[in-house]
Amino acid sequence: MPLPPTYVEGFHDKESVLQMEYTDLGKTGLKVSKLSFGGGPLGGAVTYGEYLEEEAINTVREAIRKGINYIDTAPAYGQGRSEELLGKALAGVPRKAYYISTKVSRYGRHWSEMFDRSEDRILSGFDQSLKYLGLDYVDIVIVHDVEFGPMEQILNESIPAAAKLIKQNKARHLGISAYPIPPMCEIIEKSTIPIEVIISYSRDLIFDNTLQEYIPFFETRNIGIINAAITGMGILTLEGPPAWHPASPELKAICKQAAEYAKVKGVELSKLSVGHSLEQPGAHSYLVGMTERKILKKNLNALKGLSEEEKFILREIKQIFFNSGKNLCWEGKEISAYKKFLESNNS
């Protein structure tokens, strides 16, 4: 397999890069690694809990050195903390070695002011993001969580503002993100400015294959597909999800039982979840949040595929815990869940 355009002699672990799979991200011209680096957990306590800064910095650098060449973050992750941490981690890393995206139109922790889709806020917020990151530009600017609306403002003000950033050479490509997929499809069909990338998250999981229904829609338009949060934002881990997680108590309980069952069988549910998602067709890259090198190592190992024994345990878990015949998700509930959590945290 040829080396990707992001390869830098003397910086990368060449053998690891040669083992990584790279795919063209739609029509962007970017060739992204199958496993990519999510900056959500770098936001700290409010999102996924605290971490050791030095270890997180080393994890970012090691991930790039091992061939992960796409990083995603957002100002909403810890009120800029994720971007700041990445700025420290990327200092001294060759700019050619990675692609990076950050987001616009979601800021802060207070529900009443969180979503500001206006052009002025997007332009000023993006300049702050670049300052935190220590960069002159990012490769992709993402309009964040479009399902929260309002749709008309996103179409008529937010996306044009993001396009202006591209004209100013502060970003190169334009994308959108959401949990429910239909709002992204609607924007793609209605926008007069082409959307090049979508970030879907907590899909193609052990209990939810919703993304697969929409892959043909995106493929026919040559749109890059990033599938993020493939442990369901922590719900498919032994540690369990954070307090704000919008899944129902019933689904959380089922996933906890599945995690404990996997532990008894000698395997981590998170590995089975990541392994399952990586085998699903359609997405160009799979975004996973990481703050420690031991987690990075586990995820890189998952790229090699599950063992036959692990596949057998995964089939057992699907049969025992997730055999309802329907997708299990929190679509339609995430907005009220986030609002309730934020209001209680800031009261």
Active-site residues, by number, are 77
**270: which 2 tokens?**
């998170």
Give the number of residues written for the chain: 347
Query: Could you give the CA distance from residue 166 to residue 315 in angstroms, rounded to a whole number?
Result: 45
Q: Are 102 and 74 in contact (CB under 8 A)?
A: yes
Q: What residues form DSSP beta bridges with 201?
A: 228
85: CB partners within 8 A, 6+ apart: 39, 42, 53, 56, 57, 60
The sign of the CA dihedral 215, 220, 221, 223 is: positive
Query: Could you give the CA distance from residue 141 to residue 106 in angstroms, rounded to a whole number?
Result: 13
- Which segments of the chain are extended strands (E)? 22-24, 31-33, 35-38, 70-72, 99-104, 138-143, 171-178, 197-201, 224-228, 285-289
Residue among 231, 211, 239 at smallest CA distance from 327: 211
Give the chain's largest Cα–Cα span: 55
What pairing do the DSSP bridges indicate for beta strands 285-289 and 35-38?
A: parallel
